[in-house]
């Protein structure tokens, strides 16, 4: 290959590389926005002593509907989910003196969406929409 032919080939390769690099840098499509994240906080408080138990779920669009069980109060769990949550929480308290109380609360992005307090022992406290 002659010197002149080599120069033309090298120039063509360099020009093609400039077009490819320039085309990628000048894309007219903006990057997609980051996915919306929601912070969900579950909490349960109650009278000391006895046994506490419960479960929670963060059902939502494309979200899991798997329940997670817990025991003991106070209980608090914070989760971040990439979908609009529909959280639910159920908790009970047994083995406590009459007149005891159990409370549940769910917040989404720092805003309380539901809070309840009931006497214990007895029925479970249920927080959900």
- Whole-angstrom Cα distance, residue 115 to residue 104? 6
What pLDDT, on the 0 to 100 scale, is given for residue 4?
54
| pLDDT one-digit tens code per residue, 75-118 | 999 999 888 899 999 999 888 888 899 999 999 999 999 999 99
State the first-to-last Cα distance of the chain, in angstroms, to the nearest integer.
78
Contacts of 117 (CB under 8 A, 6+ apart): 101, 102, 103, 125
- Mean pLDDT for 47-53 is 82
pTM of the model: 0.70
Domains of the chain: 38-127 (2.60.40)
Cis bond upstream, residue 129 (ω within 30): no
Contact present, 115 and 104 (Cβ < 8 Å): yes
What are the residues facing 119 on neighbouring strands?
101
Residue 66 has pLDDT above 90, yes or no: no
Q: Cβ atoms within 10 A of the Cβ of 65, count?
A: 10
């Amino acid at each position: 290959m002659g010197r002149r032919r080599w120069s033309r080939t090298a120039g063509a390769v360099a020009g093609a590389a400039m077009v490819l690099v320039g085309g990628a840098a000048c894309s007219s499509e903006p990057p997609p926005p980051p996915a919306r994240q929601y912070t969900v906080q579950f909490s349960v408080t109650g009278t000391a002593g006895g046994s506490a138990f419960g479960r929670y779920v963060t059902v939502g669009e494309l979200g899991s509907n798997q329940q997670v069980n817990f025991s003991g109060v106070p209980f608090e769990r914070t989760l971040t989910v990439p979908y609009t949550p529909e959280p639910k929480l159920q908790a009970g308290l047994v083995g406590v003196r009459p007149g005891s109380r159990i409370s549940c609360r769910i917040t989404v992005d720092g805003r309380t969406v539901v809070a309840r307090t009931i006497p214990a022992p007895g029925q479970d406290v249920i927080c959900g929409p």
